[in-house]
Amino acid sequence: MKKILITLLFPFTLFSQEPIGSYKIFSKEFKISATEPKENGDYSLYVDGYTFDATVSSGGIIVENKKIDDFINGWEQAKEKYIEWTTTAKENNVTDLNKDIKVKTPKLSGYFSYGSWKFDWNVSPYFKYLISESKGKISYALVLYTGKMQASDNEYIDCDSFAYAFYSIEDINKFISLFDQKLVTDHFEKKNSKEDLFKD
């Protein structure tokens, strides 16, 4: 019964979140949205990602506030490798590379749109470092992949990995900054103070 209740509540939660920031992947804008913090301070961030699956219109990962520190720590460690490996690649004229970055990331939940919202409660994100060359330009990327997702309510419904790909330290840092708790508290405090002006 508990599992059924969770499945029923999450679609409702998905539509009760509000955007607190945005970022870009391949020039396309994506949102990070938050649920309103509960009395105990708990909230969740829904982080839209870039999909490689033509059958899925949108989706991403859910980062609960209790896992944000571990999630960001993973990004910070991966960023250090990105800096180190990019320096090494430039010094040695490496123009093609696909290498795993072995840092620890927390287990997360994921969501994707397939007719209706589907959820995967067991997502294991992983990082890769990519170097590619196109028309004489070399690109150095840090990418977080979600891995394949499978709907919790139907084992035959799945989607390919979502990705969070960044090509500069500036873009990586901007993405990390969007997980600041102050963005969530400020947003909902401002919203609630405005609503308080119009009491019943």
Cα 133 to Cα 58, 79, 101, distances in angstroms: 28, 21, 20
Dump pLDDT digits (tens) for 92-117.
999 999 999 999 999 999 999 988 89
Structural domain including 69 reads 2-196
Dump pLDDT digits (tens) for 129-179.
999 999 889 999 999 999 999 999 888 889 999 999 999 999 999 999 999
Overall number of domains in the chain: 1
Phi-psi region of 72 (alpha: psi -120 to 50; beta: other; left: phi over 0): alpha
Dump pLDDT digits (tens) for 8-32.
444 444 448 999 999 999 889 999 9
Dump pLDDT digits (tens) for 42-66.
999 999 999 988 889 899 999 999 9
